[in-house]
Structure 1
Amino acid sequence: MESRDVSTAPDLPDAAGGPDDAPLVQLVTPAGSRVTTPEAEAYRERVAHLDPAALRGLYRDMVLTRRFDDEATSLQRQGELGLFAQAKGQEAAQVGSARALATQDYVFPSYREHGVSHVRGIDPTARLRMYRGVDHGGWDPAEHNVHLYTLVIGSHVLHATGYAMGVQRDGLVGTGDPERDTAVVAYFGDGATSQGDVSEALVFAAVNNAPVVFFCQNNQWAISEPATKQARVPLYRRGSGFGVPSVRVDGNDVLACYAVMAEALERARTGGGPTFVEAFTYRMGAHTTSDDPTRYRSRAQEEYWRRRDPIDRLEALLRAEGTWDEAFAAEVAAEGEALGERLRTEVRALEAPPASTMFEHVYASPHAVVDADRSWFAEYEQSFEPADHVEGSTR
Structure 2
Amino acid sequence: MEKTKELKQIEDQFKTFQILDEEGKVVNEKAMPKLSDEELKELMTRMVYTRIWDQRAISLNRQGRLGFYAPVAGQEASMIGSQFALEKQDWILPGYRDIPQIHYHGVPLDQAFLWSRGHFMGGQMPEGVRVMMPQIIIGAQITQTAGVAMGLKKNKEDAVAITYTGDGGASQGDFYEGMNFAGAFNSPAIFVVQNNRFAISVPVEKQSAAGTIAQKAVAAGIHGVQVDGMDILAVYAATKEARQRGLDENGPTLIETLTYRYGPHTMAGDDPTRYRTSDEDDAWEKKDPLVRFRKFLEGKKLWTEKEEEKIVEQAKEDIKAAIKKADGAPKQKVSDLISNMAEELPANLKEQLEYYKEKESK
TM-score (norm 1): 0.84
1:341 Cα deviation (Å)?
Answer: 2.4
CA distance in 2, matches of 1:381, 1:342: 30
The aligned residue for residue 205 of structure 2 is 228
The aligned residue for residue 192 of structure 1 is 169
Distance 1:364 1:270, change over 3 A: farther
Distance 1:73 1:351, change over 3 A: farther
CA distance in 2, matches of 1:205, 1:136: 31
The aligned residue for residue 209 of structure 1 is 186
The aligned residue for residue 19 of structure 2 is 27
Whether the aligned pair in 1 keeps the contact of 2:232 and 2:289 (CA below 8 Å) is: yes
Indicate yes or no: 2:143 matched with 1:158.
yes
1:226 maps to a residue whose letter is P
1:194 Cα deviation (Å)?
Answer: 0.8
Indicate yes or no: 2:241 matched with 1:263.
yes
Match of 1:82 among 45, 53, 67: 67
Match of 2:342 among 363, 386, 395: 363
Distance 1:376 1:328, change over 3 A: same
1:243-300 per-residue CA deviation (whole Å, 9 max, x = no partner) reads 1110000001010000000000001112111000001100111100021111110111
1:343 Cα deviation (Å)?
Answer: 4.0
Match of 1:247 among 189, 211, 225: 225
2:177 maps to a residue whose letter is E
Larger radius of gyration: 1
1:345 Cα deviation (Å)?
Answer: 3.0
1:342-362 per-residue CA deviation (whole Å, 9 max, x = no partner) reads 245334444531221012232
How many residue pairs get aligned? The number is 349
2:357 maps to a residue whose letter is A
Match of 1:121 among 103, 106, 110: 106
SS of alignment partner, residue 339 of structure 1? helix
1:102 Cα deviation (Å)?
Answer: 0.9
1:372 Cα deviation (Å)?
Answer: 2.0
1:79 Cα deviation (Å)?
Answer: 1.0
Whether the aligned pair in 1 keeps the contact of 2:226 and 2:257 (CA below 8 Å) is: yes
Distance 1:122 1:379, change over 3 A: closer
Deviating more after overlay: 80-89 vs 212-221 = 80-89
CA distance in 2, matches of 1:218, 1:158: 19
1:77-131 per-residue CA deviation (whole Å, 9 max, x = no partner) reads 0111222111111000010000000111101000111221232131111111122
1:250 maps to a residue whose letter is D
CA distance in 1, matches of 2:217, 2:160: 18
The aligned residue for residue 6 of structure 2 is none
Deviating more after overlay: 230-239 vs 251-260 = 230-239
SS of alignment partner, residue 266 of structure 2? coil
1:28 maps to a residue whose letter is L
Deviating more after overlay: 364-373 vs 228-237 = 364-373
CA distance in 2, matches of 1:63, 1:114: 15
1:80 maps to a residue whose letter is R
CA distance in 2, matches of 1:23, 1:80: 43
Structure 1 gap segments, 5+ residues each: 1-19, 173-180, 387-395
Match of 2:307 among 304, 328, 338: 328
CA distance in 2, matches of 1:138, 1:70: 23
The aligned residue for residue 56 of structure 2 is 71
Whether the aligned pair in 1 keeps the contact of 2:109 and 2:319 (CA below 8 Å) is: no
The aligned residue for residue 81 of structure 2 is 96
Deviating more after overlay: 115-124 vs 131-140 = 131-140
SS of alignment partner, residue 187 of structure 1? strand
CA distance in 2, matches of 1:76, 1:21: 43
1:122-149 per-residue CA deviation (whole Å, 9 max, x = no partner) reads 1111111122232274441653211111
Whether the aligned pair in 1 keeps the contact of 2:111 and 2:121 (CA below 8 Å) is: no
SS of alignment partner, residue 103 of structure 1? coil
CA distance in 2, matches of 1:162, 1:26: 31
Structure 2 gap segments, 5+ residues each: 1-11
SS of alignment partner, residue 215 of structure 1? strand
SS of alignment partner, residue 249 of structure 1? strand
TM-score (norm 2): 0.91
SS of alignment partner, residue 226 of structure 2? strand
CA distance in 2, matches of 1:342, 1:141: 19
RMSD: 1.9
The aligned residue for residue 147 of structure 1 is 132
